[in-house]
Structure formats: C-alpha cells, structure tokens
Amino acid sequence: MHPLVIFGIVILGIILLITFGVLVSFFSLWIQCKTTGAKIGFLDLIFIKLRKVNVGTIVRAKILTVQAGLPMSTRKLENHFLQGGNVTNVVKALIAAGKADLGLDWKTATGMDLAGRDILGAVRRSVDPEVIVCPDPERGRDTIDAVAMDGIQLKAKASVTVRTNLSQLIGGATEETIIARVGEGIVTAIGSAKTHKEILENPDAISKQVMGKGLDAGTAFEILSIDIADVDVGENIGAKLMVDQAASDKKVAQAQAEKQRTLAVAREQAMKAITQENRAKVVLAEAEVPKAIAAAFRKGNLGI
C-alpha cells in the first residue's frame, strides 16, 4: 500500500475511535436523561458540550430537578454555569428550601450563589439552626472578659443559636459580626452589674439583657437564643488598679519631695553665696578705712 493511504487510514481510525468514545459518553448521558424523564435530547447534549458547558453537571442537575418535581429549563442551568455559578449547590438548595417551604426562588438563589454565599449551607442552617461559640476559639480567645462594678473580673463563654435569614443573606453581615456584637453585649451586661455575685447567681440575666438589644439587625442570621455556657471569676481588677494607683501616687510624692529637697539645697547654696559676697564687701570696706585716715591726715583734716 502507498504510505499516504496507510497514513490516511490511521488518521481515519483515530477520528473514528474519538468519535465512538464521544458518542458512547453522550449515549450514556442520553440514556440517563431518557430513563429519568430529564428530556434532554442527544443533539442537545452535543450542543451543550459545544457551548463549553460541563454536560455531566447539567444532566445531573436536571435529573435532580425532575425527581424533586421542580420545573427548571436546561437553558437556565447552562446560563448559571457559564456565569461561574455552582449549579449543583443551587439546585440542591432550591430542593431543600422547597421541602421546608422557605419560599426561595431561582433568581434569588442564583444571585446569592454568584455573590459568593454558600446557598446550600444557608438553607441548611435555616432549616437546622446552628450553634456559634462566642468567643471563637480559633481567633485566640477562650473567654469574654469583663469587670463588674465591684472591680471583680468575670470570664464568660456563650453559645449563640442562629438560623439563616435568607432575605438578608445578600449584603447581610456574617458570623463575625454576630460574635462581636454578642461579646460586646456580654461585656456591657457584666459591667452594669453592681457586684460580680449578681452574675454568678443569675447568668440568665446576661442572656435576657443581650437578647433585648436586637443584635441580629442587618445580619444574615436570626438569633434564636443566647445561652451563657460558663462564667468564671478572674482577677480583682479594682484592687489591682488601687495598688497601681497607690504605687503611682508614691512615685509622684517621691518626685515632689525630691524636687523640694533640690530647691532647698539650691536655696541654701544661694544663701551661702550671698553671705560670702557680703563678707567680701565688708572686707573691702574695712580695707578702705586706713586709706581714708591716711588721706585725711595728709590733707590736715585729722590732727594728732
């Protein structure tokens, strides 16, 4: 055979093998669509691939919507994929929200997904509330420290039960804001107590006071409860401050005394200098007396 003919046969064989492999993969997906009622034709699968969309993702998402009884066009799924969205997460979130009757629609769900929010996780937290530990141990703090009016420090931990507020998921503040606000509320509640014993005897007073502040306003969550998990007594900050103040006052008094001593020494040295100066003047005056007598004697003003 001519070499060109052999080369042509090889190239044709490779093309046929590639075509057969593609057709087999599309045929498998097409069978899934036919058996599940996804209603995606064989040519539609090829066109989806030509539009640079992951065919498997679209097929699985469409099958999920069909099985859940959620009407959804293939074109919507493709568009969201091309926009960089997580099609599988959005579909699962819509299915979960539909079963929980949360009223989530496709436009809202895709908007949240494209905004970078975990829409599936948000729906799950909306159905099954989540407990947030305050403060967050991963940020290097184990307790919220505050001082009551009697100067005793208290170290508190809180468990905040929240669920997602889907209507405020876009633009709403995240968990960090909830933790910060709850921590601030606990510090205020402890600081307003007359004695630390009031808090130790009734930790729920903190929860009631903090819950009444509406800390979830403007956030992506709704606070269901704030439970004080633990309250420990810390240092006597009031006594420590008094000791520090006394030490500071002592140093100030010592500095003032040293200043007075220095001024007294300076005055003493000044007086000594004045005395020496006056003595010098007396000596000079005494030295002039003989001169005056001699001058008077020469002028005849002094007789002997």
Asked whether residue 304 carries a pLDDT value surpassing 60, the answer given is no
Is residue 125 within 8 A of residue 164, CB to CB? The reply is: yes
Q: What is the pTM for the complete model shown?
A: 0.62
Asked whether residue 19 carries a pLDDT value surpassing 90, the answer given is no
- Does 261 fall in a domain? no
Tens-place pLDDT, residues 90-107: 999 999 888 888 888 899
The domain spanning residue 140 has which CATH number? 3.30.479.30
Same domain membership, residue 138 and residue 232: yes
From 155, 120, 147, select the one nearest 229 (Cα to Cα): 155
Q: Region 186-202: what's the mean pLDDT?
A: 86
Is residue 92 within 8 A of residue 64, CB to CB? The reply is: yes
Cβ neighbors of 79 (< 8 A, separation 6 or more) are none
Same domain membership, residue 73 and residue 104: yes
How many domains would you assign to the chain?
A: 2
Q: What domain range includes position 67? A: 3-127
Give the pLDDT of residue 43: 83
Report the chain's mean pLDDT, rounded to a whole number: 83
Is residue 64 within 8 A of residue 37, CB to CB? The reply is: no
Q: Which of 127, 143, 175 is the last residue of a domain?
A: 127
Q: Which of 174, 202, 236 is the last residue of a domain?
A: 236
Pair of tokens at residue 303: 């007789």
Same domain membership, residue 14 and residue 115: yes
Tens-place pLDDT, residues 60-91: 999 999 888 888 889 999 999 999 999 999 99
- Does 257 fall in a domain? no
Give the pLDDT of residue 91: 93
Q: Which of 209, 236, 263 is the last residue of a domain?
A: 236
Same domain membership, residue 161 and residue 62: no
Same domain membership, residue 62 and residue 30: yes
Same domain membership, residue 140 and residue 216: yes
Q: Region 45-73: what's the mean pLDDT?
A: 87
Same domain membership, residue 147 and residue 100: no
Same domain membership, residue 9 and residue 117: yes
164 DSSP β-pair partners: 221
Same domain membership, residue 61 and residue 160: no
Tens-place pLDDT, residues 245-286: 888 888 888 888 888 888 888 888 888 888 888 888 887 777
Same domain membership, residue 232 and residue 174: yes
